[in-house]
Chains A and B, each alone.
Chain A
Amino acid sequence: DAGVIQSPRHEVTEMGQEVTLRCKPISGHNSLFWYRQTMMRGLELLIYFNNNVPIDDSGMPEDRFSAKMPNASFSTLKIQPSEPRDSAVYFCASSLGGGGSPLHFGNGTRLTVT
């Protein structure tokens, strides 16, 4: 079990640039979550996929954020254009069964937008 794999681990970019974060969930898991973590706001759910279908994207801050899950083994979170307030650690997590099932988190992508 390789766990949830996220890339890159760190991303530093300038304001206005496009940023793409990647996630490979655990094989066989049917639910995938993107979270953002900051000191001020804690863990925030951005979007939830079930069986590759976006179920709830109400946590996506604004139209600058978009997420896709083209297949069961890959998801992306894109920010275009990026802004300094997007600086945070972005986590991908997967689970078997969704709902209140235990989540398996990746090690996150630390994004810094200057």
Chain B
Amino acid sequence: SQQGEEDPQALSIQEGENATMNCSYKTSINNLQWYRQNSGRGLVHLILIRSNEREKHSGRLRVTLDTSKKSSSLLITASRAADTASYFCATDEPSNYQLIWGAGTKLIIKP
């Protein structure tokens, strides 16, 4: 089942600009994860943020989590052509092993 909803569904920006993607979910969570999927490839884990964390950084990635609004955002700074991919959020609920996936945001970086 899909709980998360990414917004926007598609995003096209110029290289060097920042890209922001959002994810909303419906129930209480333990963690929220972001994944990247390049065309024709498997998903790659980017970052995990726990429900008691509000912000996390990894290189050019910045993730925020607002549990009161049941939402998260992924910011990619100084975008590069190689960032062109689909980005998915996934949540896991307490006492549930299963990850609930969003439908993804397709990001295109124009050179």
Binding site for B on A (CB under 8 A): 4, 31, 42-43, 45, 48, 50, 55-56, 91, 93, 98-100, 102-108
> Which residues, 31 to 77 on B, are CB-close (under 8 Å) to A?
31, 33, 35, 40-45, 48
The answer for the CA separation of A93 and B104 in the assembled complex, in Å, is 18
Task: Evaluate contact between B42 and A107: CB separation under 8 angstroms.
Answer: yes
Decide if B103 is an interface residue (CB 8 Å cutoff): yes
Task: Evaluate contact between A43 and B88: CB separation under 8 angstroms.
Answer: yes
The answer for the CA separation of A91 and B30 in the assembled complex, in Å, is 24
Interface-centre pick from A31, A42, A48, A93 (highest chain B CB count, 10 A): A42
The answer for the CA separation of A91 and B35 in the assembled complex, in Å, is 14
Choose from A42, A99, A105, A106 the contact partner of B104 (Cβ within 8 Å): A42
B48 surroundings in chain A (CB, below 8 A): 100, 102
Task: Evaluate contact between B98 and A45: CB separation under 8 angstroms.
Answer: yes
Choose from A31, A98, A100, A108 the contact partner of B42 (Cβ within 8 Å): A108
Task: Evaluate contact between A48 and B2: CB separation under 8 angstroms.
Answer: no
A42 surroundings in chain B (CB, below 8 A): 2, 101-104
Q: Can you sample 7 A-B contacts with CB below 8 Å?
A: A43-B2, A93-B43, A102-B33, A102-B45, A103-B35, A105-B42, A106-B42
The answer for the CA separation of A107 and B43 in the assembled complex, in Å, is 8
Task: Evaluate contact between B98 and A105: CB separation under 8 angstroms.
Answer: no
B31 surroundings in chain A (CB, below 8 A): 100
A91 surroundings in chain B (CB, below 8 A): 42-43
